[in-house]
Amino acid sequence: MKIKLIDFGVQKDHCPFRPHDNDAGADVFMPYDCTVKPGEILKIPLGYGIEIPDGYAGYVFPRSSMAVKGLICELPPIDSGYRGEIHAIISNVSNKEYTINKGTRIGQLVITPVIIAAFVFEHGRQRGIDAFGSTGN
């Protein structure tokens, strides 16, 4: 599947990059140097948007090398209809301050299928809670 990028000023070498063809996620990069304090949450603009097809959503997942330090990417969904710049949201859940340098791989962009549910109060005939033989012989 090809996903179109929307340029919001991304450096060409900071576009999503999949090191191996079968990797689940494509690496996303820190666009500038910053320091994240313990308990702090940063919203990092990545410099691009993406055009995700209907029936799919995108997520910036944590990288294991960052997560083991306590730097976690949060997982709000990127909806298929969203055309704005996407962000990585990084929480420092450790008790140590970290400097993240420009160009550091901070997360993994993953595109997944989703089921678009219709939420209703009634959905056909109710099923009872009885078990064996409850619907008749």
Distance CA 39, CA 91 (A): 7
> Is residue 49 a part of any domain in this protein?
yes
> Is residue 131 a part of any domain in this protein?
no
Query: What pTM, to 2 d.p., does this model score?
Result: 0.84
- As for how many domains the chain has, the answer is 1
> Is residue 126 a part of any domain in this protein?
no
Q: Is 105 helix (H, G, I), strand (E, B) or coil?
A: strand
The secondary element (H helix, E strand) that includes residue 64 is helix 64-67
**Per-position pLDDT tens, the chain of length 137:** 999 999 999 999 999 999 999 999 999 999 999 999 999 999 999 999 999 999 999 999 999 999 999 999 999 999 999 999 999 999 999 999 999 999 999 999 999 999 999 999 887 776 667 777 666 65
Distance CA 8, CA 30 (A): 14
Query: 128: Cβ–Cβ under 8 A, 6 or more apart, which residues?
Result: 134
> Is residue 125 a part of any domain in this protein?
no
> Is residue 109 a part of any domain in this protein?
yes
> Is residue 13 a part of any domain in this protein?
yes
User: Residue 96's domain spans which residues?
Assistant: 4-113
CATH of residue 25's domain is 2.70.40.10
> Is residue 123 a part of any domain in this protein?
no
> Is residue 118 a part of any domain in this protein?
no
Beta bridge partners of 48: 7
∠ CA 26-47-5, nearest 5°, is 60
